Structure 1
Amino acid sequence: MRVAVASGKGGTGKTTVATSLALAWGECSFLDCDVEGPNAHLLLHPEIERSAEVTVPVPRLREEDCTYCGACADFCRSHALAVVPGKWMIFDQLCHACGGCTLVCPTRAIYEVDRRIGEVRFGHAGAIRFVQGELDAGEAHPIPVIEDVLKQAGDQGDVIIDSPPGTNCSMVEVAKEADIVLLVTEPTPFGLHDLTLAVEALKAINRPAAILVNRADWGAGEVHQYAAREAIPVVLEIPHLLAVAKGYARSRPLIESAPELRQHLLDLRAALVRTIRERAA
């Protein structure tokens, strides 16, 4: 089973939940796809064994073959190319690596080179196979790094994916590869608002969802009312615990700071499997 742990906004406890799910379930794969700010390693403390660069193809010019006709710039919807008389310019960080400019160039003056945008790290945290992506500082396009992390999911055993927060393309890219998305929210007006955005995004790609309410003792039931209207199960509630906050500040995972939650996280697996089956039926 592939479980993406996501949230409509940052700060709900998404990574805290995802890492402790992995620790409670034991032998599994953990993919940290929050590549613009990966921090699962702070709670899982993996031994990193190797890393690999993530690159994307970007265009370069053979000036002797270029007629400066501008066909490449006209084609480029991301405005990564500019052509003026006698001058060809490429803005690497705007390039989406589609390769279209190489195809439309009438003189085949454009070729591609690989440009690094991030890296993927591989290791283990006990029985947990750990894979983490990180986008290099200043880079604008996280999707290629996320794709390289997701390629490591494999077909065997449970896979827990720490999704990027929010409802942007990065979150959708992760959700598409999951069997179910566990949405971590908090019972606040902002939490409920962004939960609704996440649910609508999952509807658009036809992915089943379940809800985990963190700091559940804060609210007045609005999240549960919304979940009931949408027929989305609330599979776990975690109260606001000072011990968890103190533990997080010391890089201690949730189930170490609040060991009474371990069995609840173990039982969560069965609840997620049941939700997948009910949705399929």
Structure 2
Amino acid sequence: MKIAIASGKGGTGKTTVAVNLALALEDVQLFDCDVEEPNCNLFLDFELEPVEEVTCLVPEINPDKCTLCGNCADFCKYNALAALPIQIMFFPSLCHGCGGCSLVCPAGAIEEKPRSIGRIEKASSSQTSLKFLRGILNIGEAMATPVIRSLQRHLDESRPAIIDSPPGTACSVLAVIGGADYCVLVTESTPFGFHDFLLALEATRALNVPVGVVLNRDGLGDSRVEEFCRAEGIPILLRIPNDRMIARLYSEGIPFVKEMPDWKEKFEDMFETIKALACKSTGVQ
């Protein structure tokens, strides 16, 4: 079973929920798919080792064969290629690696070569029973989705997986939610939190993924999220209060299930609720 932890915006407590949920359970996997800024390991402090380099195939143009016909530049909808009178210019950061330019080149002047865009890392197996992997997008790269796809290939389908999604509703988020059996939306009952929660909820509905809500910093703001969820029949899975102790532990990089044992049981109960809801919605065991 794959559970995506998502949010309409950053800073709502998505990573806090993902890490504490994973630590409260046995024999689970934790995947940090927020590849532009992975921060689960700030709370885990695992020693990480490389798993693989993620590459994207990009064109390499042979000037001796190129006839400057411009077919490649005309084909590229991302403007990664530009046809000039004396050469074809290539902008690697704009290339999506579709390979179409090589197909439309009549002279066979384009060959695809791999270019590194990120990497996958994992926790040393001798350190923990928790299987933890994360993806990291190289600085300056625009395409997070290929790194997420590579990370998802390491999922063990026989074990539950907690997946920390990027915030928002961009393509990288949809890549995570679309492959999940259930989505937990973490939000705050504030005007900004409610607005962005609605955007994230719309994304889950478009992907037909069952969803529940965690209210973080409960007691701060108003009741608009709770009232909306009640009206729409969306379960509120957990309430995390606006608690000074939880905030202090977070600021020190300490998952609060380690210092507040009663929360371990609350996260375990939330997991059992999710399993029952997911089974009811999709038949996933």
Give yes or no for TM over 0.5. yes
Query: Residue 72 of structure 1 contacts residue 104 of structure 1 at CA under 8 Å; is this kept in 2?
Result: yes
Aligned partners of 2:49, 2:10: CA distance in 1, in Å? 29
Query: Residue 33 of structure 1 contacts residue 163 of structure 1 at CA under 8 Å; is this kept in 2?
Result: yes
Q: 1:278 aligns with which of 277, 280, 283?
A: 280
Query: Residue 209 of structure 1 contacts residue 232 of structure 1 at CA under 8 Å; is this kept in 2?
Result: yes
2:50 alignment counterpart: 50
Whether 1:61 and 2:58 are equivalent positions in the alignment is no
Displacement of 1:260 = 2.2
Whether 1:95 and 2:95 are equivalent positions in the alignment is yes
Aligned partners of 2:202, 2:231: CA distance in 1, in Å? 13
Deviates further, 220-229 or 8-17: 220-229
Query: Residue 17 of structure 1 contacts residue 254 of structure 1 at CA under 8 Å; is this kept in 2?
Result: no
2:201 alignment counterpart: 199
Query: Residue 50 of structure 2 contacts residue 119 of structure 2 at CA under 8 Å; is this kept in 1?
Result: no
Measured against aligned partners, the alpha-carbon deviations of 1:207-264 in whole angstroms (never above 9, x if no partner) come to: 1101000111113321111112222111111101111111112110121243321110
Q: Percent identity?
A: 43
Query: Residue 243 of structure 1 contacts residue 258 of structure 1 at CA under 8 Å; is this kept in 2?
Result: no
Aligned residues: 281
2:268 alignment counterpart: 266
Displacement of 1:21 = 0.5
Measured against aligned partners, the alpha-carbon deviations of 1:57-100 in whole angstroms (never above 9, x if no partner) come to: 01011111111000000000000001111211100000010000
Give the letter for the 1:122 counterpart.
Answer: K
Listed as ranges, the gaps of 5+ residues in structure 1 are none
Measured against aligned partners, the alpha-carbon deviations of 1:119-149 in whole angstroms (never above 9, x if no partner) come to: 1001245211011001011111111111111
Give the letter for the 1:261 counterpart.
Answer: W
Q: Secondary structure at the match of 1:218?
A: coil
2:12 alignment counterpart: 12
Measured against aligned partners, the alpha-carbon deviations of 1:126-177 in whole angstroms (never above 9, x if no partner) come to: 2110110010111111111111111111211110000000111111100011
Displacement of 1:45 = 1.9
- What is the root-mean-square deviation in Å for CA atoms of aligned residues? 1.2
Alignment of 1:66-85 (within 5 A): 66-85=66-85
**Which 4+ runs in 1 deviate beyond 4 A?**
none
Aligned partners of 1:46, 1:160: CA distance in 2, in Å? 17
Q: Secondary structure at the match of 1:170?
A: helix
Measured against aligned partners, the alpha-carbon deviations of 1:182-229 in whole angstroms (never above 9, x if no partner) come to: 001011111111111001011111111010001111133211111122
Aligned partners of 1:72, 1:220: CA distance in 2, in Å? 54
Aligned partners of 1:272, 1:85: CA distance in 2, in Å? 60
Q: Secondary structure at the match of 2:219?
A: helix
Query: Residue 30 of structure 2 contacts residue 163 of structure 2 at CA under 8 Å; is this kept in 1?
Result: yes
Whether 1:248 and 2:250 are equivalent positions in the alignment is yes
Aligned partners of 1:98, 1:229: CA distance in 2, in Å? 44
TM-score, normalised to structure 2's length? Answer: 0.96
Aligned partners of 1:18, 1:70: CA distance in 2, in Å? 48
Aligned partners of 1:149, 1:220: CA distance in 2, in Å? 38
1:22 alignment counterpart: 22
Give the letter for the 2:218 counterpart.
Answer: A
2:210 alignment counterpart: 208
Aligned partners of 2:271, 2:281: CA distance in 1, in Å? 16
Give the letter for the 1:235 counterpart.
Answer: L
1:38 alignment counterpart: 38
Deviates further, 242-251 or 55-64: 242-251
2:161 alignment counterpart: 159
Aligned partners of 2:12, 2:199: CA distance in 1, in Å? 15
Aligned partners of 1:64, 1:154: CA distance in 2, in Å? 47
Listed as ranges, the gaps of 5+ residues in structure 2 are none
Give the letter for the 1:249 counterpart.
Answer: S
Displacement of 1:279 = 2.2
Q: 1:139 aligns with which of 129, 138, 141?
A: 141
Displacement of 1:55 = 0.7
Deviates further, 4-13 or 123-132: 123-132
Q: Secondary structure at the match of 1:64?
A: coil
